[in-house]
Structure 1
Amino acid sequence: MPKTTAQLRQLWRAYECNEAEMAAIGFGPDRIRVARPAARAFTALAETMTRYRYFIRPADTDSYNCRTITGGTLKSLHAYGIALDVNWSTNPYVDHPGTRGPRFSPKPTQAERALDVKAGRADTDMTEAMIAEIESLCTATGLQLFKWGGHFGTLKDSMHFELDIGPDDLAGGLASR
């Protein structure tokens, strides 16, 4: 069952704005900082993106950041080292009326899909297949690792990935692929 942001803040409270508890890991050509127990999960995320030949741009990708949530007063999950924004210039934050699923571009290349995003025809330059594989990543006990912001209801935060489990859930490792 998906966790609420409040539940995740509670589970990861020891990591809130605690830079000493962040680990720097490779993420494609980038290096990101995440909560130490989350490092393997984010490595699995990067490996999945690499398999899909998805190019990560370090200039618009970021993880740990001790800041408040967009439009709120409480800390963002980025402040806990359990959230990551990838290629925000081509995976924008889009508020829209009502609820709808994410719009994916059918184009074959990331560059072509990015043009569909810029034209407002798609919400992301990622593929539906890559997102499905990322959402299938799980712990050894079968708990889904990540929520993707493109599935948020009244907004699309397609750049955003967040862990949906606590540090204790990661202690048993990840499912093997």
Structure 2
Amino acid sequence: MSKYWFKRLISVLVSTAFIPVSAANIAEISVSECKAMATAGVMSAAAPVQCDRLRQVLFDYIDFQGQQHNNGSIIVMDAVAPYIATIFERLYILKFPINKAQPIRHYQGDDDLSMADNNTSAFNYRPIAGKRSLSIHAYGLAVDINPKQNPFVEFGEQGSANFKPENGAKYANRMQFRYGKDQRQGFAEDVISTFADNGFLYWGGFWNTPIDYQHFQVSRNMANLMAAMSADNAAQFFAHYVQWYRTCKTSYPAAYAEHKVSDYTHYLENKLNSESLHKTFKLSPASVITAMQKALPLQTATMCIKK
């Protein structure tokens, strides 16, 4: 080997020596874990998905002090587990800091306690805060990340703002780089594209009121549909959904940078002349599955971009 190529090899080895490597693992929910979830009030027989449709994603993460941890754990629906694993592997590579990540049963299902502990979590059988309808967390199809840095904000009638957790109020200003101040990290804005590239297009930071900076989810239509499907069909649907988004984003980057997204669900609804894919599935499962099992078409601007 020439001196030149030897030096090149050493250069490559040195440059890659400090690149973090993470390997997320996916596990079924054990009987004991399922019982613990039920005891903590996180799981119920009334939940739209039961333990057999949930998976635990175990992953490495880096905290705000730059320390590595190998005990990250989050529980999600089976169909999305590989994509959630990819998300957290990507966050690790990016050195995006996470304060803590453990299933919410450790907080007896109390979302306020989990947020106060700045805990990243997903599945929790509960309603939307202050409402009766189920949260998308109850399907294992929503993720809350770094609640302190990405608080939930409600507005009163007179315009007053209520932050959850309370110490999240210091992050009301969403600027990461501020004159004379240290850079702030762990903001959800940094990972919008990572979540979207893996099927979680809906970010609570896009909402008018309340604003939920920590929250990423799929649509309610999708959540109901995937919960009603078999595990295999839900996995196939979500794989097509992600593939559709990635292909459209590659073809029309400017439109997708502005979040003008017409997704795979909209495509199937148009194809089936349906107002709601979930409702159509309830009436005629075979029609949705047949349409879903066909190869994806050549995606045009009309199909990809929402006007």
* TM-score (ref. length: structure 1): 0.65
The correspondence for 1:77, drawn from 136, 150, 165, is 136
Hey, what does 2:55 align to over in structure 1?
23
Corresponding position: 1:41 with 2:73: no
Residue 71 of structure 1 aligns with an amino acid whose one-letter code is G
AA matched with 1:26 = L
Distance 1:24 1:66, change over 3 A: same
CA contact (8 A) 1:41 1:174 kept: no
- Superposition RMSD on alpha carbons, in Å? 3.1
Aligned amino acid, residue 40 of structure 1:
P
Relative contact order (alpha carbons < 8 A, sep ≥ 6): 1 or 2 greater? 1
Distance 1:15 1:34, change over 3 A: farther
Q: Is the 8 A contact 1:146 1:162 kept in 2?
A: yes
- Give unmatched runs, 5+ long, in structure 2: 1-45, 62-70, 102-116, 160-171, 227-233, 251-307
Q: Say which one has the larger Rg.
A: 2
Alignment size in residue pairs:
142
**What is aligned with 2:237?**
169
Deviations along 1:75-106, whole A, 9 cap, x unmatched?
Answer: 11111110111111221101245xxxx96323
One-letter amino acid of the counterpart of residue 63, structure 1: A
Aligned: 1:32 with 2:91? no
The gaps in structure 1 that reach 5 residues or longer are 1-13, 115-124, 139-143
Instruction: Indicate yes or no: 2:175 matched with 1:113.
Output: no
Greater share of helix residues, 1 or 2? Answer: 2
After TM superposition, the score normalised by the length of structure 2 is 0.40
SS at match of 2:84: helix
Percent of aligned positions that are identical? 24
